[in-house]
Amino acid sequence: MLAVLTVFAGAGTLGAQETEFSHVGTKNCKKCHIKEWKSWAETSMAKTFETLKPGVAAEAKESVGLDPNTDYTTDPECVKCHVTGYGKAGGFVDIETTPELAGVSCEACHGPGGTYTEDQYMSLKNKEYVKAEVVAVGMVDTVGEAQCVSCHNSESPFVGDDFVFDFESQREEGSHEQYPLKYPH
């Protein structure tokens, strides 16, 4: 699997040093969260990289003036919202290098897992981890509107400039099934 790496990305953020946690891919999460994985795999977001291929979703593309025969799988202007962690540490590069990060997967909503899946955080050795500690190393506390609107916004060719994402109505439809946690955190 991709190595865990910590990058210091200071440039452009007023010189402040900001830790960028690395992505690890869905196989890692699947080991311990098979129910969520199975449910997620059925969602349109899990499969959405496919829609960038030539000939796929042809009618939808034509309806917004996109050429249905163009291969958009390498176009950064499309890829950024149809994969996980594009341009970020350990994130999607291209379909040959990082096939596991094609589509909107676990870490697009829950945060890059390179550090929070280490043994001392969320693991089978530490099932009763302290949530704040896991959140401090990259896990999103509670997945909410902020995660969704990084992609569900008017930059999508399929919505107008006046688009407003309705989180309440979309949350249940877009997320995997929810299963109660077993341990206190």
Which residues bind to ligand HEC, rule: CB under 6 A?
24, 26, 28-29, 31-33, 36-37, 40, 44-45, 48, 51-52, 57, 60-61, 66, 72, 75, 77-78, 80-82, 104-110, 113, 117, 122-124, 127, 131, 142-143, 147-148, 150-153, 155-159, 170-171, 173-176, 178-179, 181-183, 185
What is the smallest separation between the CB atom of 82 and ligand HEC, expressed in angstroms? 5
Measured in whole angstroms, the distance separating CA 120 from the mean position of its chain's CA atoms is 23
Residue with Cβ nearer ligand HEC (10 or 35): 35
Neighbours of 48 (CB within 10 A): 17
Residue nearest to ligand HEC (CB): 174
Label residue 151 exposed, middle or buried (CB < 10 Å: 0-12, 13-18, 19+): middle
Residue with Cβ nearer ligand HEC (8 or 183): 183
How many Cα neighbours within 13 Å face the side chain of 33? 23
Q: Which two tokens stand for residue 72?
A: 């958009």
Residue with Cβ nearer ligand HEC (96 or 128): 128
Compute the distance between CA of residue 75 and CA of residue 69 in angstroms, rounded to an integer.
14
